[in-house]
Amino acid sequence: MSISNSVSHDGMRTSMFGAIRKKYFATRTDIIVSSVLAVAVVWLLVNVIDWAFVNAVFGAGKREECLAAEGACWSVIASRWRIVLFGLYPFEEQWRSGVACLIMVIVAVLSCVPYFWNAKRLTVLWLSGFGIFYVLMRGGFLGLTPVFEQNWGGLALTVFIFAAVCILGMPLAIVFALLRRSELPWISRTMGLIIDTIRSLPLLTIMFTFAIVSPFVLPDWAIGDKLYRVIVGYAIFFACYQAEIIRGGIQALPAGQEEAAKALGMGYWHRVGYIVLPQAFRNALPPTINQIVITFKETSLVTIIGFFDVMASGRAASGNAEWSFAHVEVYFFVALIFFVFVFSLSRYGAYLERRLGVGRR
């Protein structure tokens, strides 16, 4: 597929076939490469469609037909999707878990609306969304049966960990970044040392330390549930990376910005809140989105310390004798869930970049 002939020489509008010929079939090499690739793509598509649709079995409870069929067994999803999405959450109460997830999705969609684009509104939106999520999941009031954290699972748990880490980690990251830039050398150096230390440790080690080791060290009142210890550990890990991203955004600002704010008599917090951070976040938007995407995906590490996130519950869905042959389909489903979340996140990031670019130049 050559890019050399993508401009038409006569400057006239060519027909679609003409354009395709010029772009993909201009030279002998182009013809060979394009044809081979086209055949490969078609072959792949035909096979996937055959497997996923034509020869597939849909509808709940059709185990026998699945075993006989050549294609995908979507019947496993139809029968077991509630385990994937909600894990060990009590069956009759799973609607709460569903509504809770839906609310977080709504919060995420709402934060794409320009009306919410200031620090105050975003904070209120996310904190109240998260509050409703927690209350619904946990229950114990208005006749909702209490469901304790150890019974949370599936997609709801993944969303909970992700949202909690971001809500806790982002303010922490800002604090870390500001301390790192302190004019007092011993503060900035200490912060730098802490950040570098935590960044040089694997996330898994940190999760283990907070989940398993920290109870031996912490006073009783500070131990809390294992889930929250993991979240705190993950949030600190997130904050260390994000702090460096924010610091990079701050350092990209011309020195004149802060000087102008100083010359207008603005104090430290006004300068940080109105001049430095808004511009730093704009500069740092692409790596920030990147960090958030990574954070969402790496929530699946909690499986290893015994949490029932969407990965683990996916494995459980195909983990019994009845459906064990269909694990590929379940992993497909889990992958699809991750894909939907992460892909929309990155598209939203790309949109933000374009939108915030307006007015800069």
Partner 1 sequence: MSEHAILIRNMNKYYGSFHVLKNINLEVKRGERIVICGPSGSGKSTLIRCINRLEEHQSGDIEVMGTMLDENVDHIDEIRREAGMVFQNFNLFPHMTILENCTLAPILVRKIDRVEAEKTAMEYLARVKIPEQANKYPGELSGGQQQRVAIARALCMNPELMLFDEPTSALDPEMISEVLDVMVGLAEDGMTMVCVTHEMGFARQVADRVVFMADGQVIEQGEPETFFENPQNDRTKTFLSQVLGH
Q: Which residues does residue 73 pair with via DSSP β-bridges, in sequence order?
A: 57
Q: Is 9 in the site for partner 1 (CB under 8 A)?
A: no
The residue among 13 and 354 lying less far from partner 1, judged by its C-beta, is 354
Tokens at 307, concatenated: 């949490």
> What contacts 83, CB < 8 A, 6 or more positions away?
154, 313, 316, 317
**Which residues, at least 6 apart from 196, have a Cβ–Cβ distance to it below 8 Å?**
none
Given the complex with partner 1, which of 146 and 357 has the nearer CB atom?
357
In the bound complex, what is the minimum distance in angstroms from residue 258's beta carbon to partner 1?
Answer: 9
Name the residue among 195, 192, 170, 173 with its Cα closest to residue 182: 192
Hey, how many other C-beta atoms are within 10 angstroms of the C-beta on 53?
12
Question: Which residue lies nearer to partner 1 by CB, 143 or 265?
Answer: 265
Decide: is 185 part of the binding site for partner 1 (CB under 8 A).
no
User: CB of 126: closest distance to partner 1 in angstroms?
Assistant: 22
Estimate to the nearest angstrom the gap between the alpha carbon of 143 and the chain centroid.
33
Asked if residue 171 binds partner 1 (CB under 8 A), the reply is no
Q: String of b and e for 96-132 (b: at least 16 CB within 10 Å)? A: bbbebbebbeebbeebeeeebeeeeeeeebbeebbeb
Site for partner 1 in 254-313 (CB under 8 A): 254, 256-257, 259-267, 270, 274-275, 278-279, 282
Q: Is residue 359 helix, strand or coil?
A: coil
- How many CA atoms within 13 Å lie on the side-chain side of 300? 13
Asked whether position 359 contacts partner 1 by CB under 8 A, the answer is: yes
Element (H, E) at 254: none
Query: Does position 355 bind partner 1 by CB under 8 A?
Result: no
Q: Is 13 in the site for partner 1 (CB under 8 A)?
A: no
The site for partner 1, by CB under 8 A, has a size of 21
Of 28 and 354, nearer to partner 1 (C-beta) is 354
Q: Could you tell me the smallest distance in angstroms from the CB atom of residue 185 to partner 1?
A: 16
Residue closer to partner 1 (CB basis): 11 or 185: 185
In Å, how far are 122, 240, 272 from 178, measured between CA atoms?
21, 12, 9
Q: Between residues 169 and 249, which has the closer beta carbon with respect to partner 1?
A: 249
Residue 114 in contact with partner 1, rule: CB under 8 A: no
- Residue 265 beta carbon to partner 1: minimum distance, rounded to whole angstroms: 4
- Does 151 bind partner 1 (CB under 8 A)? Our answer is no
Task: Kindly provide the residue ranges of all beta strands, DSSP E only, lying in the chain, ordered along the sequence.
Answer: none
Taking the complex as a whole, how short is the minimal distance between the CB of residue 264 and partner 1, in angstroms? Answer: 4
How near is the Cβ of 351 to partner 1 at its closest, in Å? Answer: 18
Nearer Cβ to partner 1 (276/316)? 276
How many other CB atoms sit within 10 Å of the CB of residue 225?
A: 11
**Is residue 120 near partner 1 by the rule CB under 8 A?**
no
Q: Is 354 in the site for partner 1 (CB under 8 A)?
A: no
Q: How far apart are CA 244 and CA 236, in angstroms?
A: 13
| 257 versus 344: smaller Cβ distance to partner 1 | 257
Q: Where do contacts with partner 1 occur on this chain (CB under 8 A)? A: 254, 256-257, 259-267, 270, 274-275, 278-279, 282, 359-361
